[in-house]
Amino acid sequence: MGTLNKSTLFPAQLTGELLNLVKGKSSLAKLSGQAPIAFNGTEIFTFNFDKEADIVAESGAKGVGGATVAPVTIVPYKIEYGVRVSDEFVYGSEEARINYLKAFADGFAAKAARAIDIMAMHGLNPRTGSASTVVGNNHFDYAIPAANKVTYNSTDPNANVEEAVGKVQGAEYEVTGMAMSPAFRTALASQTRQDGTPLFPELAWGSQPDVIKGLPVDTNSTVAFGDDTKDVAIVGNFRDYFRYGIAKDIGIKVIEYGNPDNDANAGDLQGHNQVYLRGEMYVGYGILVPEAFAAIGNFQ
């Protein structure tokens, strides 16, 4: 397939087949409700009027307005996943090879989708669960202002959501969705009215609806991913103020020689009658307005 590099993997086209898989497994992709932007540019400019409109008397002087224009950089990150398979992949029928590749492509798409969430929500390396020096501070946990962080109360998660929504709306932004952890979904499902009936009957028996009380929602273990992650839910305007991108070419290599995963125990591929399938892709994202989001979690 040749060498994968940023200069060859960032055309303005998109990979629709992978996008469909990603949307089903990434809360951020689902809640943003938009196809990803292509990597034909690295910056999105935010434009904001700094003041309210001015009433001007007839023949009166006009006051000073002003606007703030600021760039948000979409940083590309390389995602990789590989797996060893029997060398029957090489010597088997064409149908067998296609089945291997289809299964691998489906699995890689799911892992890539989770990676978008884990990186953008927490700034972690999905494989290690540790802070990624590559991602740095480009994630919701860092970007969301302290004033927009709500302390989680497992006995009244509904009040937590109301407070988080209030913080976003108080900053004059619309709330278009909520990503929540399975534990937070369970806490909501456990809430009852004074007469003992469920406050959220649509969550009964593990149900995961797409909408609760008119608000688009998604339940995903990526929201509370990692040992140090404090979040249980993220609320905000994902539709307008979160963008993500995927490079066109999704590279899948078939490697027949060496030790491509640097596994000292597994050793050389040829010595164990194996080949190595490796998927590589570039993804990027931008949190355009951090104040348009609020987090619920164990922040104390």
Residue that the structure tokens 């497994």 belong to: 25
Q: What is the pLDDT of residue 8?
A: 37
Q: What is the pLDDT of residue 39?
A: 56
Q: What is the pLDDT of residue 2?
A: 35
Judged on CB neighbours under 10 Å (0-12, 13-18, 19+), 300 is exposed
Which two tokens mark 93?
């029928």
Q: What is the pLDDT of residue 22?
A: 36
State pLDDT tens for residues 61-75.
766 666 666 677 777
Which two tokens mark 237?
């305007």
Name every residue whose Cβ is closer than 8 Å to that of residue 99 and which is 6 or more positions away in sequence: none
Q: What is the pLDDT of residue 47?
A: 62
Q: What is the pLDDT of residue 144?
A: 97
Residue ranges of domains in the chain = 16-46+70-297
Per-residue buried b or exposed e for 130-167, using 16+ beta carbons within 10 Å of the residue's own CB: ebbeebeebbbbebbeeebbbebeeeebeebbebbbeb
Q: For the chain, list residues with pLDDT below 50.
A: 1-24
Q: Which CATH architecture has domain 16-46+70-297?
A: Alpha-Beta Complex (3.90)
> Does pTM surpass 0.95?
no
Judged on CB neighbours under 10 Å (0-12, 13-18, 19+), 188 is buried
Q: What is the pLDDT of residue 244?
A: 86
Which two tokens mark 7?
């200069």
Residue type, 138: N
> In the predicted model, what is the mean pLDDT of the chain?
82
